[in-house]
Amino acid sequence: MANVLVVAELLEGKARKTTLCAVTAAKQIAEGTGGSFDILSIGEGAGAAAEELAGYGAGKVLKAEIAGGYTCEKYAATVAEAGKGYDVLVACASAYGKDLLPRVAAKLGAGVASDISQVHTDGGKLSYTRPMYAGNMFGTVEILSDKQVVTVRQSEFEPAASSGGASPSEDVAVQTDAAADKVEFLGVEVVKSERPDLGDADVVVSGGRALKSADNFTNVIEPLVDALGAAMGASRAACDAGYVAPELQVGQTGKVVAPKLYIAIGISGAIQHLAGMKGSKTIVAINKDKEAPIAQVADYFLVADLFDTVPALTEAVKKL
């Protein structure tokens, strides 16, 4: 029997959807082992977020109000203390989860299975499958320590649906940590976008180095993105060149996405990029070079100059 604590991820006082993906994994672990799950709402606005998180079937929602910007040093001791009563701690393998949970695991002496794609509970025994080698290998791993710490790949766990009901909430004490005094949060530039989140969009349109400039992203890619109601992504090369912001990077070191439709424009398809998108249901490549490695994963390939083709595609989409 494994009792599970979900560590929620808050952004501006609201739970990010990543939290609900972690809830889904927690339910699988709890149901498969005859345990239960709770949620820890932590950060600025934890109280309000706890109310929002009360409708997902958790035994209770713990809350720890911590003001100011996030650093893992500020949160880890509180999460570890709250986690002492649980067998498994789960968060999404977002930048936040990958930053916070290993620190918590070290405090608890726990092993970490990170970025898992599947939970197994055969005979009540927990193991996890996770992508490795940029998605070219899947390993199944058991955690041998008393406590288990797990981060889950957002694209592999559907966000939990609200189940109604209201989990009771409970305050937990905020713990201090000497390491937290060594880091001063100076600020964050949060990128505001009206578009869907890259992590959970149904359609993603990504551009690569062949776009040649930030202006071309604005003038060529963005109209197609908006015509499709899509999220915009990019290859590492395009992010490095400064054509778009780094958080739009799709790949082994960026976001991993698995939308219903992924359109790769002017992206050759390095193995590190494929790692971030090859789980997409339908993949379209638009590229001048029909030998480009993106062809290994593309369902549809249009061999063409993107500057001629993409505006025409945008117009055609608008007419649908």
Partner 1 sequence: MKILVSIKRVADPDNASKLKVSSDGTAVTSEGLEWKMNPFDDWSLEAALRLTENASEKNARVGEVLLVSIGPNDEHTQRIIREGLAKGAERGILVEADEGNLDAGVVSAILKAIVDKESPDLVVMGKQAADGDSNVAGTKLAEELGWPVINSAMNILTRDDGKTLEVKRELDTGVATVKVTGPAVITTSDRILQPDSVQNGVTPDDHQYAKLEVGGRYASLKGIMQAKKKPIDQMALGDLGVDTAKSLNYTKFALPPARSGETTFVEDVADLVDKLHNTSKVI
For the segment 97-136, give every residue that binds partner 1 (CB under 8 A): 98-99, 102-103, 105-107, 110-115, 127, 130-136
Tell me the window of 59-67, 83-91, 166-174, 299-307 that interacts with partner 1 (CB under 8 A). 299-307
Q: How far is the CB of 22 from partner 1 (least distance, A)?
A: 14
The rounded distance, in Å, linking the Cα atoms of 287 and 252 is 21
Residue 49-88 contact track with partner 1, rule CB under 8 A, x = bound = --------------------xxxxx--x------------
**Residue 291 binds partner 1 (CB under 8 A):** no
- Contact (CB, 8 A) for 88 and 126: yes
CA 208 to chain centre: 21
Backbone phi and psi for residue 96, each to the nearest 5 degrees, phi listed first: -65, -50
**Residue 235 binds partner 1 (CB under 8 A):** no
**Residue 264 binds partner 1 (CB under 8 A):** no
- Tokens linked to 121: 């509970």
Q: How far is the CB of 1 from partner 1 (least distance, A)?
A: 21
DSSP 29-89: HHHHHT--EEEEEEETTHHHHHHHGGGS--S-EEEEE--SS--HHHHHHHHHHHHTT-SEE
- Contact (CB, 8 A) for 59 and 4: no
What H or E segment, with its residue span, contains residue 119? strand 118-120
Name which position in 239, 258, 264, 277 contacts partner 1 (CB under 8 A): 239
Q: How far is the CB of 43 from partner 1 (least distance, A)?
A: 13
Q: How far is the CB of 170 from partner 1 (least distance, A)?
A: 26
**Residue 179 binds partner 1 (CB under 8 A):** yes
Q: How far is the CB of 145 from partner 1 (least distance, A)?
A: 4
